Amino acid sequence: MPLRSDLQLDAKLFRSDQVSEQTAKFNAQLGEIMKSGPKWYEVGAEKYRQMRWNGETPLPKPRVLDSAQTGTIPSRDAGRNLPTRIFRPSSGAAPRSLFLHIHGGGWVLQSEAYQDIMLQSYADRSSLLVISVGYRLAPEDPYPKGNEDCFDAAGWLVDHAKEEFGVELEFIGGDSAGAHLSALTCFWLMENRREWKGKGLVLSFGAFELSGFLPHVHNIEAPVVIDHDIMTKYIEAYLPNRTAEQRRDPWISPLYADLAKMNLPPALFLCGTADPLLDDSVFMSAKWAMSGAESILKIYPGGCHGFTFFPVGQTETTEAALKDIETFVTERLQSYNLIVHDANAALPARAAASWPNTSVADTSDPATAFATCDLLITMLPNGHIVRDVLLGKDGSQGFAAGLKKGTVVIDTSSSSPYHTQTLGKDLAELGIVLVDAPITQTYMHATDFGESTLMVGV
């Protein structure tokens, strides 16, 4: 067997022959359109924002949905609130979770009101409450003003979303500069809201290295929407009078953050091959995975910067990305709640503090400790102890007394066949199924490499 790399990428996705005729045609047309109007730095940021809102630039006027609501979130400054747009499922169904969206625009342009169509799609596809927050923009308010607004919004939602909206903040995401700010907002929550257990980040074509540019910015042959010059102007407005070394600060360039020290949530990175920021997503997704967190990178042949905003049908990359985001969010909303117990009380407490959807079992009454569980996993020194824990000893109740009929017990302990068979018969009389699945390999293999082997028999 040939030696295989530990880092796998599907090389064909990066080839030009994988770009569909529809996408190539769309990119060519968009490229010509973008050449026809002024650049924001030629007319000034404030004027260009108004032109963009009025539909006076090469791009169409943003569509605003009447169904979306406006709101505010308090900032750290007394009397100054942050504007929001709020999206609920069109079906009227109760949302299952809250998604905080942070808009893009190079830290200079756009607002919370520019992505109504896309964000309503998020809400409808995954039954989400989506809140898009506005933040202060450069050059009038350079770093760290916009960052602080995003941090304030996320912190307030962690503290108050359940009581205000009936759901908790579990997802954060953004596009371009918004993906950059979303990653930093996640880092801020890791430090300042340690109780927050995010289920996922959605980071679309983000900029994660601001001290210079990664190779694709220089090597891309036909950039669409943004190029080297436009990105340079954005960064100069956002980070005035800062050297390259200063811009490597992890709170500016998240690619330089020590991610291994954080208990990061899963992240979905999306980028097209016609985007100058392609390397940013590839590199950042690899760093995310190296930290031990789940990292999913999706590459879209021919996708240009901002392709998720385009009307569905103009290029197939838009629908593909929206479907991937839907799948990512929906899969994480299907996660199980985990209840943990150990004779050493410090271990389940640590697990509950670190793992999402995890709580410590209340074992004061064995009959109710695991009464809500559909699956119970035991890992104990031997079969005698497994039996005592489940069925009780010397007249005491075991945990099986409160288990529902149909509950499956998976015993990963090293038990003798006799003890397993007799325990299985006794549990069957209670309507409980026992699966014998002893765990092998060393403790170090599990803790250092995240791998263990289970031998399963019924």
pLDDT per residue as tens digits for the range 94-151 = 999 999 999 999 999 999 999 999 999 999 999 999 999 999 999 999 999 999 999 9
Judge contact between 235 and 264, C-beta under 8 A.
no
Between 296 and 34, the higher pLDDT residue = 296
Judge contact between 206 and 103, C-beta under 8 A.
no
| Range scoring the smallest mean pLDDT among 40-54, 253-267, 301-315 | 301-315
| Mean pLDDT score, 185-189 | 99
Please write the tens of the pLDDT for every residue from 334-393. Answer: 867 889 998 888 888 888 877 767 888 888 887 788 888 889 999 898 888 999 999 888
What CATH architecture is 365-454? Answer: 3-Layer(aba) Sandwich (3.40)
| Mean pLDDT score, 406-427 | 90
Give the pLDDT score at 262: 93
Give the pLDDT score at 335: 65
Please write the tens of the pLDDT for every residue from 76-105. Answer: 999 999 999 999 999 999 999 999 999 999
Please write the tens of the pLDDT for every residue from 230-288. Answer: 999 999 999 999 999 999 999 999 999 999 999 999 999 999 999 999 999 999 999 99
Question: Rounded CA gap, 337 and 100, in Å?
Answer: 23
* β-pair type (128-133, 81-87): antiparallel
On the question of pLDDT at 448 being above 60, the answer is no
| Range scoring the smallest mean pLDDT among 50-64, 297-311, 409-423, 433-447 | 433-447
Judge contact between 365 and 359, C-beta under 8 A.
no
**pLDDT band at 450; cut points 50, 70, 90:** low
Do you find a cis peptide bond into 139, omega within 30 degrees of 0? yes
Question: Rounded CA gap, 267 and 254, in Å?
Answer: 14
Question: Rounded CA gap, 133 and 197, in Å?
Answer: 20
CATH 3.40.50.720 domain range(s) in the chain:
365-454
Homologous superfamily of domain range 11-333: Alpha/Beta hydrolase fold, catalytic domain (3.40.50.1820)
Give the pLDDT score at 442: 61
Q: In sequence order, which residues have a C-beta less than 8 Å from that of residue 301 and are 6 or more positions away?
A: 13, 14, 15, 18, 19, 20, 23, 272, 273, 317
**pLDDT band at 446; cut points 50, 70, 90:** low
Beta strands in 264-340 (DSSP E): 267-272, 295-300, 338-340
Question: Rounded CA gap, 177 and 185, in Å?
Answer: 12
On the question of pLDDT at 395 being above 80, the answer is no
Question: Rounded CA gap, 277 and 275, in Å?
Answer: 5
Q: Which of 22-31, 177-186, 301-310 has the highest mean pLDDT?
A: 177-186
Question: Rounded CA gap, 335 and 436, in Å?
Answer: 24
Summary mean pLDDT of the chain: 93
- Using a 10 angstrom Cβ sphere, with 0-12 exposed, 13-18 middle and 19 or more buried, the burial of residue 30 is buried
Q: In sequence order, which residues have a C-beta less than 8 Å from that of residue 240 and are 6 or more positions away?
A: 139, 142
Judge contact between 216 and 279, C-beta under 8 A.
yes
CATH 3.40.50.1820 domain range(s) in the chain:
11-333
Q: In sequence order, which residues have a C-beta less than 8 Å from that of residue 213 and are 6 or more positions away?
A: 228, 231, 276
| Mean pLDDT score, 24-34 | 92
| Range scoring the smallest mean pLDDT among 21-35, 65-79, 242-256 | 21-35
Give the pLDDT score at 371: 87
Question: Rounded CA gap, 209 and 144, in Å?
Answer: 16
Give the pLDDT score at 109: 98
Give the pLDDT score at 82: 99
